């Protein structure tokens, strides 16, 4: 194991402290978002804005952990392609979940069907 100079150690401590504080702040924002529902439009079941913001915050937090604590910011090449594929797959699943929850295709079909009747 390589030994670090005091300057390198101070730099790493500063980075870890900044990430820890950022994770704490983002966690508080997520909890407050779930508690107060600032984007509540008064329609039951219309919480997609809150859910989307929560998922974006979760993606940011997981990226910070992966890049800083797991040291993936020093990796090159194939690992970024794998991470990009994983991120795109995750986004695709989240979009499918949101579509299944709001069911826009069924609503459009019902609107067309009722207009034809």
Domain spans of the chain? 1-74, 76-117
The predicted pLDDT at position 54 comes to 86
Helices in 1-117 by DSSP H: which ranges? 6-36, 48-64, 78-102, 104-116
pLDDT band at 1 (very low <50, low <70, confident <90, very high): low
Which range of 12-16, 18-22, 100-104, 109-113 scores highest in mean pLDDT? It is 18-22
The predicted pLDDT at position 18 comes to 93
Query: 107 vs 63, which has greater pLDDT?
Result: 63
Over residues 69-92, the mean pLDDT reads 83
The closest alpha carbon to 73, from 17, 15, 116, 28, belongs to 15
Q: What is the maximum alpha-carbon separation in the chain?
A: 78
pLDDT over 70 at 46, yes or no: no
Q: CA triplet 23, 29, 33: central angle to 5 degrees?
A: 145
pLDDT over 80 at 58, yes or no: yes
């Amino acid at each position: 194991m390589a030994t670090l100079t005091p300057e390198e150690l101070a730099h790493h401590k500063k980075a870890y402290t900044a990430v820890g504080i950022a994770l704490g702040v983002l966690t508080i924002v997520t909890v407050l978002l779930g508690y107060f529902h600032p984007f509540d439009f008064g329609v039951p079941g219309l919480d997609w804005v809150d859910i989307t913001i929560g998922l974006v915050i979760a993606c940011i937090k997981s990226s910070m952990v992966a890049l800083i604590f797991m040291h993936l910011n020093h990796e090159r090449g194939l690992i970024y392609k794998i991470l990009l594929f994983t991120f795109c797959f995750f986004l695709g699943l989240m979009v499918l979940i949101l579509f299944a929850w709001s069911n826009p295709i069924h609503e459009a079909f019902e609107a067309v069907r009722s207009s034809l009747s």
